[in-house]
Structure 1
Amino acid sequence: MNERIFRTLEFQKIIERLTSKAETTVGKDLSQKLEPSTNMDEVLQLQNETDEAMHIQRLDKTIPLGGIFDIRASLKRSVIGGVLSTNECMDVASTIYGGRRVKDFISKLEEAFPILKELVEHISPLRDLERHIKSCIDDHGHVMDSASQKLRGIRSSIRTNESRVREKLDSYTKTKSSMLSDAIITIRNDRYVLPVKQEYRGAIGGIVHDQSASGQTLFMEPKAVVDLNNQLQEAIMNEKQEIDRILRELSAHIANEEAFLQENVRVLGKIDFMFARAKLGQSMKAAKPNMNNNGIIKMQQARHPLIDINEVVANDIEIGESYTSIVITGPNTGGKTVTLKMIGLCTLMAQSGLQIPALDGCELAVFKHVFADIGDEQSIEQNLSTFSSHMTNIVDILQHVDDQTLVLFDELGAGTDPQEGAALAMAILDEVIARNARVIATTHYPELKAYGYNREHVVNASVEFDVQTLQPTYRLLLGVPGRSNAFEISRRIGLSNHVIEQAQGHVGVDSKSVENMIASLEKSQINTEKDYAKAHELLQEATDLHHDLQRAWAEFEEKREGLYERAEEKADKAIKQAREEAEMIVSEIRNMRTEAEWKEHEWIEARKMLDSAKPNLTTKEKQQPKEKKGKKELRSGDEIKLLTINQKGTVLEKVNDKEYLVQVGIMKVKVDRNDLQFIGKQNQTIEKPLTTIKGSNYHVKTELDLRGERFEDALLRLEKYIDDALLAGYPKVSIIHGKGTGALRKGVLEFVKKHPRISDARPGEAGEGGSSVTIINLK
């Protein structure tokens, strides 16, 4: 890479834009020195750095880079014994604080940013040095009284002496105002003086330090304040000496930390440089390119980086796989040169760690050399014509071309006889292609339109021209050579038809056939692109419709299964309620029995008959719902089917994210999650004995603790418990639901209102648990 290629492709303008994005002097310095790298590992590192900074930009987070200065020169002076100024010391303190803010910002980011987080590990906090500086110098760069006890005393003395001098001079302004040009106190040569009229010089007496331009006013220090002024000046000199000592001490402290401060500045500058590259990419709506060493360039909707994003025409570029050379033909001002510069400039940017203005997934190569022969570089001083200038440049290019080279030729062979120029252009292209370089060339010569058809690794291309508007569209058409539009343009401008027909008669049959073939190719390609866009749109619509149908069907299946479950639960609840009511009737009859008692075995038989009266709600095995994507997490006690052996079992515990310990029969085995199908939660309802042989007391407590339960599970437990308490004959029970959000307490009260066997309910009193308990009275 050399300065000439940077100048030709306007790489310096990219550098200027990048520099404007940097916030610190160090970052701007690094931006101005940016150059493309030819080392693959280095390019990948630069791209990864830019991508990390771009990721933070996309998160809408702003890194705090304010208050960071380039203190490297000050550090060098401090090391060799120089005394830094107050502003230089404050810059050091500000940079220390700024570095700590950057480190905290990066460290607190939740996502993984390995490059940035490794960089900030090298930033030293240096809190002691920062505190030392700020305890001596204020934000305005003044050394504070608190910097030392001696300085405090000196400044107290200065204020006292100033007060005495002013007090003495004030007496002159009051008693001898007629002798003064103005009743004010001023300063000349760092001493307090009075403006005395020339004629009263002797009356006042003292030292003359200055006079007005007219000579009518003398600035005099009266004898009475000379000694006081001398004392004041002595105190001021002592103050300067003490400030110099304090700054020398601070400078020595800074020199001791020079290595850490240099590293802080280096890291902060690099971070700023990374974010400057990210900001430039964001302003261009750029994407991270995938880099390769194979000379492959693939860019979709690539744009020239220096043209306004609202005006530039995006194009697709591909070279390096099926073909290694592109020959672009077409009219002047059609965009051929812009396309060449765009490809070269994007290549330099990618090798510099910058993202490029193209769609995601773009791919660029790392070239050892990038050459360009673009523009008219004739030199009057060197007596070189346009053709000679181009050939001088091309000769230099041919000396360095190899398989790691990208070559850009603009108007190859122009500036000489058309036939000789075309022949020379084909010979140059043959030579460069033979060396396996990547070549993109533009030309006007019609002979080169057939060049791509006769070479194995060459493809034709052209820039589109709209004959209707007589304007170029700047779209690049790969695979289609450009054609002359002279006759169509002349006709639309107004040239008579007989002149155009006469001109067409002079054109050879072969030329007409080639032009007709090119026109047909252009039309076919345009129609193909339109059909492709339409087909892609239809495919997207069909895909969206397919997803919608899948989602609707899944929702329907889920809803149907839910309806089945709710119907069975409702039926089961009704049967359960009827059974309990029957049990209560039987129990009451049993309590009222006389001497003609039934035998106990008859009661047992009756109860068995009641149990057997429960019907089967479903006669077929319930279809298991398909597990959704992202397998359901299984819990201990869940019923599952082991698909590999088609056996049911129970989950015992979760081993890790992929394996579970399950019980199948008498075996306990570890099974992969993909081999398990969830069936349902294990039914943990345990039938309690209906009654004892004598009496009707249930084995249930007089309180129910629902704390920690899910809302639905808690209400189910509450319903079962109230049934048990009624059967046990309890007059009242306590429901412990806790305070929490209050949702469970509200659910309990709603349940109480709806239950026919509950007379009323109230919150617990202080001795009963307060508002975290509800007392229920049963009928």
Structure 2
Amino acid sequence: MIKTETLELLEWHRLCQHLSTFAATKLGTVAARGLQLPTTKTESLQLLAQTKEVYSLEQQLDSSWSFKGIEDIGESLERAKIGGLLSAQELLDLATTLAGVRRLRRTIDAKTEDLPTLTQLVTELRTYPELEQEIHHCIDDRGEVTDRANPKLAEIRSQIKRLRDKIYKILQNIVQKQGGAVQEAVITQRDGRFVIPVKAPQKDSIPGIVHDISSTGSTLYVEPNAVVQLGNQLRQAERQEKREEEAVLRALTEKVAAVQEDLEQLLAIATVLDLATARARYSWWLGANPPRFVDVNQGETVTLRQLRHPLLVWQQQHEQGTEVVPIDVQIQPQIRVVAITGPNTGGKTVTLKTIGLAALMAKAGLFIPAKEPVEIPWFEQVLADIGDEQSLQQSLSTFSGHIRRISRIIETSSLQDSLILFDEIGAGTDPAEGSALAIAILKYLAEKALLTIATTHYGELKALKYQDERFENASVEFNDQTLKPTYRLLWGIPGRSNALTIAHRLGLKSEIIEDAQQRVGVSASQELNLVISALEAERREQENKAKEATKLLEQTERFYTEVSAKASSLQERERELKISQEKAVQQAILAAKGEIAQVIRRLQQGEQTAQKAQKATEELNQIAERELAKTKQPKRTKPGYKPKVGERIKIPSLGQTGEVLSIDEEEKQLTVRFGLMKMTVAVDEIESLDGQKVETAVKAKTASSTKTKPAAAKPPVAVRTSKNTIDLRGSRVANAEADLENAIASATESGVLWIIHGKGTGRLREGIHEFLKRHPQIERFELAPQNEGGSGVTVVYLK
């Protein structure tokens, strides 16, 4: 009884309702609404493992986790078990359920190593693909028995179609011939018989059986005598069709009944998987983390940082509620009783419910909405006395109601593994007696229960911490300036008595406040409040320092990450540059080797003479000089300083700084403004604010002995003559290179060489172009215009 009351007090049913919205099937929705709490720690661990595995599975981009097609077939299985007949739609639902569960099993089997708990769950699962195939063979996607299900059925349906067509044709002829007697030219049905709407005054025009009359009596629905016999035959054929369909459904139902137990097991596993999915999705929505069950008897601490009430989170997200203020819970292993003090509406009751729900969620396999690490004991029972149990019918006062519920809690077995929650323990009676009773109850539970958390207004309970190490104080924070609670939970500090302070600030007369202070004992009250106030101030200071330290740590980590990234980037750029330089050197070596090989090949062709040897030597020297010049890396110089418009600069000769208004590049002058004055200065008279000078180009000295630079030669006119044309058609590339070398030497004066290589396969043209690219005397080359040979001729321009 007390367990059920506790679930109601903690609003567990509301949490289950929220959980059910994350289920994918009707089975899961129903199961989530009536979620049962496990009775052993092993069951809770298994549920948590299922939740973790589904959570991990759904985070993967390639996840095929879907419950499509799975239906609630429980009632159908029960009816099949007792010999009932399943409808075509029920059988179709069973087939899609088998297929849906099989897909889930395949997804699990594909990731067996990562999903050990789910794998064990579906190991013995049977999905009967042969039964699914037979159902689909006999029933189509519309939930109707197919013609192929039974040869006799197909024949009957063919007969039905012929009879309907014949009846319809006869009725159409009657409607056309007796148009004046027909109310409307339509053919309809009444009680499964084809009829014509006939005007009541002219019913004798179309003799037959009247099956219906309109509400006004002006229309009679008549089955003409001409189709009555055919209608009887149609009705018999339809009955035969119905019997054959039932025979098909009966045969399938019997096959379902034969494996009914396995199918019920399959349905149970599908429900378990959907529940695990709902828990995972709800946990993800809450931003929750998986709990670890700790053993306080082994010295482990209860840790729930930034814990939020799940129902308040739902209210904030779906009902535009206020922002949820998280609480921090950290209970040392020796603590057995926590006394929470503080003002009314300060959040004490919400704190109790939050901790209670966290314990139940962990037990049910749900993640807890708190920051990692989430560490909480496994409680065999969660028992609570929260709220007012006043009853006029039973003549119970508030105090009596509390005592009756506390008595039931204390009498419950297995207190040693229980979490006990008391709201305003000892309230509702004389403060002195209520306080004494509360202390006695809490000391009893310190011996018997695993953990007890109680809220109270009694100051005497604050002192228990200093008398017994099993007791701890906590309080809900109260802002003295705004006279409002902050809803934050402070550990190790009891709540201050704020009643007189609040009353004074709300305007109650000073003499009344002073009289009240004298009655409660001025010195003792002030001394206790001063101590608590000092503790609260010290705590706030430590929290501020901790926040500052956290910010500094975050900045340091960010700077370290940025520096590391830049260092890695520089190393990568250096590596890429080195690789690029090595590739360039290799390419230069290959090119030089190619040119040297050509020189040697030309020297070997024909007669070797001293003149040719001398020429080859000169060519080799040119190649060496050119390639060496390529590989030499020029010294990099720091780019000179150049002022920009709008920039601040210094004018050392005037001892002023100014702003650049305009720059004359040709005259090497700048217009500068400083103060109210503008002036034009030479670029070499200024410098940047950090002392950089402007680099100016040195003008070459003019002298009679200095050679004037010749004007750039105009590009040669591409005039084709017999002297600057060479025909290489039919030659091989190796032979053509020697002829080309001679032709280039002869065409130096004209500056243009026409090479006729023809179109053909294009290999000769490609070989010639590769040779021209490497030749030091070639400036550029291009294909000739279409009227000069197009792609069969190449025009070469020499340096």
**TM-score, normalised relative to structure 2:** 0.68
Q: Are residues 1:297 and 2:302 paired? A: yes
Give the whole-Å Cα distance in 2 for the aligned partners of 1:548 and 1:163: 83
Amino acid in structure 1 at the alignment position of 2:343: P
Going from structure 1 to structure 2, the CA distance change for 1:52 and 1:754 (only over 3 Å counts) comes to farther
Give the whole-Å Cα distance in 2 for the aligned partners of 1:488 and 1:151: 91
What secondary structure does 1:178 align onto?
coil
What secondary structure does 1:179 align onto?
coil
Deviations 1:631-677 (A, max 9, x none): xxxxxxxxxxxxxxxxxxxxxxxxxxxxxxxxxxxxxxxxxxxxxxx
Whether contact under 8 Å (1:38, 1:367) holds in the other structure is no
Q: Which residue of structure 1 aligns with residue 501 of structure 2?
A: 488
Q: CA RMSD in A?
A: 3.9
Q: Which residue of structure 1 aligns with residue 152 of structure 2?
A: 150
Going from structure 1 to structure 2, the CA distance change for 1:457 and 1:261 (only over 3 Å counts) comes to same
Q: Are residues 1:470 and 2:483 paired? A: yes
Amino acid in structure 1 at the alignment position of 2:373: G
5+ residue gaps, structure 2, are 317-322, 593-602, 609-768, 777-799
Q: Which residue of structure 1 aligns with residue 363 of structure 2?
A: 351
Deviations 1:261-294 (A, max 9, x none): 3333222221111100111111111110001343
Deviations 1:481-502 (A, max 9, x none): 1112234323433345565455
Going from structure 1 to structure 2, the CA distance change for 1:190 and 1:570 (only over 3 Å counts) comes to closer
Q: Which residue of structure 2 aligns with residue 378 of structure 1?
A: 390
Question: Which of 521, 540, 550 is matched with 2:535 structurally?
Answer: 521
The Cα of 1:121 is off from its aligned counterpart by: 4.0
What secondary structure does 2:163 align onto?
helix
Give the whole-Å Cα distance in 1 for the aligned partners of 2:31 and 2:267: 12
What secondary structure does 1:27 align onto?
helix
Give the whole-Å Cα distance in 1 for the aligned partners of 2:387 and 2:442: 18
Q: Which residue of structure 1 aligns with residue 20 of structure 2?
A: 19
Amino acid in structure 2 at the alignment position of 1:54: Y
Give the whole-Å Cα distance in 2 for the aligned partners of 1:552 and 1:131: 62
Give the whole-Å Cα distance in 2 for the aligned partners of 1:379 and 1:257: 54
Give the whole-Å Cα distance in 2 for the aligned partners of 1:343 and 1:128: 51
Q: Which residue of structure 2 aligns with residue 536 of structure 1?
A: 550
Going from structure 1 to structure 2, the CA distance change for 1:229 and 1:572 (only over 3 Å counts) comes to closer
Trace 1:46-57 onto structure 2 (pairs within 5 A). 46-57=47-58
Question: Which of 374, 385, 391 is matched with 1:362 structurally?
Answer: 374
Amino acid in structure 2 at the alignment position of 1:408: L
Going from structure 1 to structure 2, the CA distance change for 1:87 and 1:563 (only over 3 Å counts) comes to closer
The Cα of 1:445 is off from its aligned counterpart by: 1.3
What secondary structure does 1:181 align onto?
coil
Amino acid in structure 1 at the alignment position of 2:313: D
Question: Which of 161, 164, 175 is matched with 1:162 structurally?
Answer: 164
Give the whole-Å Cα distance in 2 for the aligned partners of 1:35 and 1:391: 28
What secondary structure does 1:420 align onto?
helix
Whether contact under 8 Å (2:178, 2:205) holds in the other structure is no
Deviates more, 1:443-452 or 1:5-14: 443-452
Question: Which of 456, 462, 485 is matched with 1:449 structurally?
Answer: 462
Deviations 1:695-732 (A, max 9, x none): xxxxxxxxxxxxxxxxxxxxxxxxxxxxxxxxxxxxxx
Trace 1:287-686 onto structure 2 (pairs within 5 A). 287-294=289-296, 297-308=302-313, 311-400=323-412, 402-495=415-508, 497=510, 500-501=513-514, 503-508=516-521, 509-545=523-559
Q: Are residues 1:112 and 2:125 paired? A: no
Deviations 1:427-479 (A, max 9, x none): 11111112253111100112222222222211111101112222111000001
Going from structure 1 to structure 2, the CA distance change for 1:388 and 1:259 (only over 3 Å counts) comes to closer
Q: Which residue of structure 1 aligns with residue 70 of structure 2?
A: 68
Q: Which residue of structure 2 aligns with residue 29 of structure 1?
A: 30
Deviations 1:562-589 (A, max 9, x none): 99999999999999x99xxxxxxxxx9x
Whether contact under 8 Å (2:127, 2:266) holds in the other structure is no
Q: How many residues align?
A: 604
Amino acid in structure 2 at the alignment position of 1:469: T
Whether contact under 8 Å (2:306, 2:370) holds in the other structure is yes
The Cα of 1:531 is off from its aligned counterpart by: 1.0
Q: Which residue of structure 2 aligns with residue 87 of structure 1?
A: 89
Q: Are residues 1:182 and 2:187 paired? A: no
Q: Which residue of structure 2 aligns with residue 128 of structure 1?
A: 130
Trace 1:203-222 onto structure 2 (pairs within 5 A). 203-222=205-224
Going from structure 1 to structure 2, the CA distance change for 1:166 and 1:569 (only over 3 Å counts) comes to closer
Q: Which residue of structure 2 aligns with residue 232 of structure 1?
A: 234
Whether contact under 8 Å (1:329, 1:481) holds in the other structure is yes
Q: Which residue of structure 2 aligns with residue 678 of structure 1?
A: none
The Cα of 1:307 is off from its aligned counterpart by: 0.2
Give the whole-Å Cα distance in 2 for the aligned partners of 1:255 and 1:226: 43
Going from structure 1 to structure 2, the CA distance change for 1:11 and 1:751 (only over 3 Å counts) comes to farther
What secondary structure does 1:476 align onto?
strand
Going from structure 1 to structure 2, the CA distance change for 1:200 and 1:546 (only over 3 Å counts) comes to closer
Going from structure 1 to structure 2, the CA distance change for 1:196 and 1:352 (only over 3 Å counts) comes to same
The Cα of 1:159 is off from its aligned counterpart by: 1.5
The Cα of 1:140 is off from its aligned counterpart by: 1.6
Amino acid in structure 2 at the alignment position of 1:402: L
Going from structure 1 to structure 2, the CA distance change for 1:179 and 1:546 (only over 3 Å counts) comes to closer
Amino acid in structure 2 at the alignment position of 1:16: Q
**TM-score, normalised relative to structure 1:** 0.70
The Cα of 1:154 is off from its aligned counterpart by: 1.2
What secondary structure does 2:420 align onto?
strand
Going from structure 1 to structure 2, the CA distance change for 1:755 and 1:399 (only over 3 Å counts) comes to farther
Give the whole-Å Cα distance in 1 for the aligned partners of 2:37 and 2:555: 44
Amino acid in structure 2 at the alignment position of 1:41: T
Going from structure 1 to structure 2, the CA distance change for 1:555 and 1:234 (only over 3 Å counts) comes to closer
Deviations 1:51-102 (A, max 9, x none): 1111123335462112101213222332443221011011011112212222
Amino acid in structure 2 at the alignment position of 1:484: S
The Cα of 1:157 is off from its aligned counterpart by: 1.2
Whether contact under 8 Å (2:388, 2:398) holds in the other structure is yes
What secondary structure does 1:411 align onto?
coil
Amino acid in structure 2 at the alignment position of 1:528: Q
Q: Are residues 1:101 and 2:106 paired? A: no
Deviates more, 1:491-500 or 1:396-405: 491-500
Give the whole-Å Cα distance in 2 for the aligned partners of 1:503 and 1:750: 109
Going from structure 1 to structure 2, the CA distance change for 1:752 and 1:67 (only over 3 Å counts) comes to farther
Give the whole-Å Cα distance in 2 for the aligned partners of 1:227 and 1:556: 98
The Cα of 1:367 is off from its aligned counterpart by: 1.5
Give the whole-Å Cα distance in 1 for the aligned partners of 2:155 and 2:574: 91
Give the whole-Å Cα distance in 2 for the aligned partners of 1:173 and 1:335: 82
Deviates more, 1:523-532 or 1:393-402: 393-402
Percent identity over the alignment? 40
Deviations 1:600-621 (A, max 9, x none): xxxxxxxxxxxxxxxxxxxxxx
